[in-house]
Structure 1
Amino acid sequence: MRKAIRSLFVASVVVAAAAFGTGAAGAASVTPDLPAVQAITPGPGQVVGIAAPVTVQFASAVTDRAQAERTVDVRAENSLAGHFTWLDDRQLMWQPTKYLPASAPISVSAGREHIKFQTDGGTSADADMSAHTFTVWVNGVARTMPASMGKPGRETPVGTFPVLSRERSVTFDSRTIGIPLNDPEGYLITGEFAERLTWGGVYVHSAPWSVDSQGVANVSHGCINLAPADAEWYYDNVNVGDPVTTHW
């Protein structure tokens, strides 16, 4: 049985001095004194998951943030509810309050720019750290796999995270989380079939070295470890923006 989502969304990056605004994305307006919109992500025609945020990058620093937010409109058939976060003085991120509608075209207007992208069928995943399982729903069909999450002192964060990137291979370096290579806990290894969940280094990935613990115990440094075949299957079926919920 799929677990209830304990957090609608946990931001995967900590942004110093970020400013927040809430409310539905309204009808976009164009203000001549605002910088031009340089890029909108997701890009035109891209297929993403139902938890994907929308990022608007302006050509130069924005001084009137409230006015810039009023130029952004995100909609399917109607405007969608969400909230804004400023990543820096040029980048504005809009996140849906719940999820984007599945298998739907999404339109974004920001300033004078207009793009459309597409959501997938609503692929989602649930990491149960007590049961040591990772369950994925694709088109309503569940696949449950044994998994190992963060060990005591290095627990996997709890919440709902959108997949930020898919990486066929990635180097895991313990120094990025404050553990020297010469420490007994130190490591420098290559992981495969990886999906980034946080900018702090939490991934879902293949971990042949922990197969004996998967489904039994949590032994990782915070990542979600899967057997190679399961990790490859998930890599082949996941999109950027698909939600992953972690809980006890």
Structure 2
Amino acid sequence: MTEWTWGRLFGALRAAGAASMVGCALVLGAGAAQADPAPFEPPRLVPADGSTVGVAQPVIINFPSPVADAGATENAIHISSVPEVPGKFYWITPTQLRWRPLSFWPAHTSVTVDAAGTVSTFTIGDALVATANDATHQLTVTRNGTVEKTIPMSMGMASGGHQTPNGTFYVQEKLPSVVMDSSTYGVPVNSKYGYKLTVDLAVRFDDSGDFVHSAPWSVSDQGKRNVSHGCINISPANAKWFFDTVRPGDPIIVQNSTGTYTRYDGSNDWQI
């Protein structure tokens, strides 16, 4: 997308769909530093400097205002790692650019992001991967390829179209408790599929409100059938273990569901 302006970028997007936002594959560490002035104001980088994250964590560059030239912006950002890893840029909005490796980061990789002088150096932790298999109703957690725990679960029910979406997601945040309210997405609390309740030990993995969380009310269904409104329900004891074990960027992979995730909102990094 070198030398593209935003008009050309989003003109192509309208013509070809969201997939056209994906930049060419790049190799970490490629390109020499540029002496020209940065084509953007200092951004905020995620992950933060000094942090440790999971193997599915993308690099997120948040600009204080829309950039004028997408290609020049990408050329001014340099990502290096040990070992070197190939990856790609993609824009979520005119103020947010992301980069992810083509495959999960190798465990224990050291990464440095230099956005024209704004720098973050972070570390990848163990390869902790949670796989939710709707065919077996089990959530299997592996660490560096070895099964660490298998957890009975209940995912989104087909009734009302609440199936948990298939795909590769990742831990975005952990909340000790959160109020879940169906009216926030247009379903009245007092309707057939309405609800408003406080759930504990909630691990969010997308921007539509899907979490892995404690669900004492569905323990008898966990491992057998789907009864949730899209979240992954597990028992309080298993939720405590999961909440304490995972960190931001750890992958959560949903398999064998009939749901799909169609929003281009920053939750579908691994579907891009």
Where do residues 78-117 of structure 1 align in structure 2 (5 Å cutoff)? 78-117=83-122
1:36 corresponds to = 41
**3-state SS of paired residue (1:87):** strand
Contact in 1 for aligned 2:83/2:110 (Cα 8 Å)? no
Q: Structure 2, unaligned stretches of length 5 or more?
A: 1-12, 257-272
Q: 2:217 aligned with 1:215, yes or no?
A: no
Inter-CA distance 183–59: structure 2 relative to 1 (3 Å threshold): closer
Give CA deviations for 1:24-73 in whole Å, capped at 9, x if unaligned. 14336444150132211101111100000111122332111011112222
Q: Is contact 2:53-2:248 (8 Å) kept?
A: yes
Q: Do 2:38 and 2:76's aligned partners in 1 also have CA atoms closer than 8 Å?
A: no
TM-superposed deviation, 1:22: 2.5
CA 1:131–1:141 in structure 2 vs 1: closer, same or farther (change >3 Å)? closer
Mapped to 1, the partners of 2:176 and 2:253 lie a distance apart of 22
TM-score of the superposed pair, with normalisation by structure 2: 0.81
2:197 alignment counterpart: 189
Partner SS for 1:245: strand
SS in 1 for 2:180: strand
The aligned residue for residue 9 of structure 1 is: none
Question: Match for 1:22: what amino acid?
Answer: C
Helix, strand or coil at the partner of 1:93: strand
How far has the Cα of 1:196 moved from its partner?
0.8
**Structure 1 residues 185-231: Cα deviation after superposition (integer angstroms, max 9, x where no partner):** 21111111111111011111111111110001011111100000001
Amino acid at match of 1:223: C
Matches within 5 A, 1:27-176: 27=31, 29-30=33-34, 31-32=36-37, 34-139=39-144, 140-152=146-158, 153-176=161-184
Note if contact 2:112-2:122 (Cα within 8 Å) is conserved in structure 1.
Answer: yes
User: Which is richer in helix?
Assistant: 2
Is the Cα contact below 8 Å between 1:41 and 1:55 reproduced in 2? yes
Q: How many residues matched? A: 234
Instruction: Tell me if the contact between 2:154 and 2:225 (Cα under 8 Å) persists in the aligned partners.
Output: yes
TM-score normalised according to structure 1 size = 0.88
Gaps in structure 1 of 5+ consecutive residues: 1-14
> Highest relative contact order (Cα 8 Å, sep 6+), 1 or 2?
1
Aligned-residue Cα RMSD (Å) equals 1.9
Percent identity of equivalent pairs: 38
